[in-house]
Chain A
Amino acid sequence: MSEHDHSQCRSLLASLSDYVDGTLGDELCADIERHVSECRDCRVVVDTLRKTIYLYHETAAENASVPEVVRERLYRALNLEDYLA
């Protein structure tokens, strides 16, 4: 591994969320990309952080409907049983 300034690793951390969301300014992005190209640890953190968020996004879409019995009890609690299709 090439020599570089490890004090950067910590300061980089603060911008990581914006970086993976694509909302970080160009200059800071370039700083992160330069650092990550030289620092194995930070590269792993960035890659696995991105993957972590991706996995949660993937699973989010799957639990979108309310089980039928729960739905029925909800409509009853709200006196809306006449709208239970």
Chain B
Amino acid sequence: MSETTTEISVEALRRGDRAEFARMVEAYSGPIHRLALKMLAHPQDAEDVLQNTFLKALQHIRGFEGRSSLSTWLYRIAANEALMLIRRQRPETPLADLGPDADDNEDFAPANLSDWCCLPEQELLTSESRARLDQAIRRLPEKLRIVFLLRDIEGLSIAETGQTLDLSETAVKTRLLRARLRLRDDLGAYYGERLGERKK
């Protein structure tokens, strides 16, 4: 999200200025809602994350020290809320799978080699394809999904993504690469089929 939205005063927020808080909600609810929608399968869950993010922000704004930007701080709360919700809904996931280094030895060799680049833009972005793009994101393991969303959808830098998720830049880069390669494979399977149909 862009920090160029008429500068929100952290000082006013910390004083408990309601109008300023409302301005912050107005400026950042769009990106936070988008992140939650793409992170979670159900719109109701996304709405819960949206509300909880700003409720928590309201509770903790006095302690916000401004070491990170306001947007990074909000993304951090939202990312935690979304990840907690996912884990609560899937309590059977073994703890080992959630550890920071799980599947670090995973092989991510690209599998799909269809050359779908040449498909025309209007075919790459039909409403069906758009739904397929979102579906591919939801198929990513959540650790990869959140990194991809923050970096490639929300446009955070590698460093900001690391701050948001308490990850080193190296870890962010590794996860980002894996996420992108998986998405490429997934889309390759889909667009490869479209390509096959055209050639018939």
A→B interface (CB under 8 Å): 10, 13-14, 16-18, 41, 44-45, 47-49, 51-53, 55-60, 63-66, 70-71, 73-75, 77-78, 80, 83
Contacting pair B58 A78 (CB below 8 A): yes
In the assembled complex, B187 has its CB within 8 A of some CB on chain A? yes
Stretch at the interface among B6-14, B65-73, B74-82, B111-119: B111-119
Give the chain B neighbours of A56 by CB distance below 8 A. 133, 152-153, 183
- Given known pairs A48-B117, A48-B184, A64-B34, the reply for A17 and B25 (CB within 8 Å) is no
Say which residue of A14, A44, A73 sits within 8 Å of B115 (CB atoms).
Answer: A44
Stretch at the interface among B48-56, B87-95, B98-106, B160-168: B48-56
B→A interface (CB under 8 Å): 18-19, 21-22, 25-26, 29-31, 33-34, 37-38, 47, 50-51, 54-55, 58, 108-110, 112-117, 124-125, 130, 133, 152-155, 173, 176-177, 180-181, 183-184, 187-188
Chain A binding surface SS class: helix
7 A–B contact pairs at CB < 8 A? A10-B109, A48-B116, A52-B187, A55-B133, A56-B183, A74-B51, A80-B25
Contacting pair A17 B115 (CB below 8 A): no
Give the chain B neighbours of A59 by CB distance below 8 A. 125, 130, 133
Give the chain B neighbours of A83 by CB distance below 8 A. 18-19, 22, 25-26
Cα A53 to Cα B19 with chains together (Å): 38
Residue of A nearest to B58 (CB): A78
Contacting pair B152 A66 (CB below 8 A): no
Contacting pair B18 A45 (CB below 8 A): no
Task: Return the 8 tightest CB-CB contacts between A and B, nearest first.
Answer: A83-B22, A17-B177, A52-B184, A60-B153, A47-B117, A64-B30, A44-B115, A77-B51
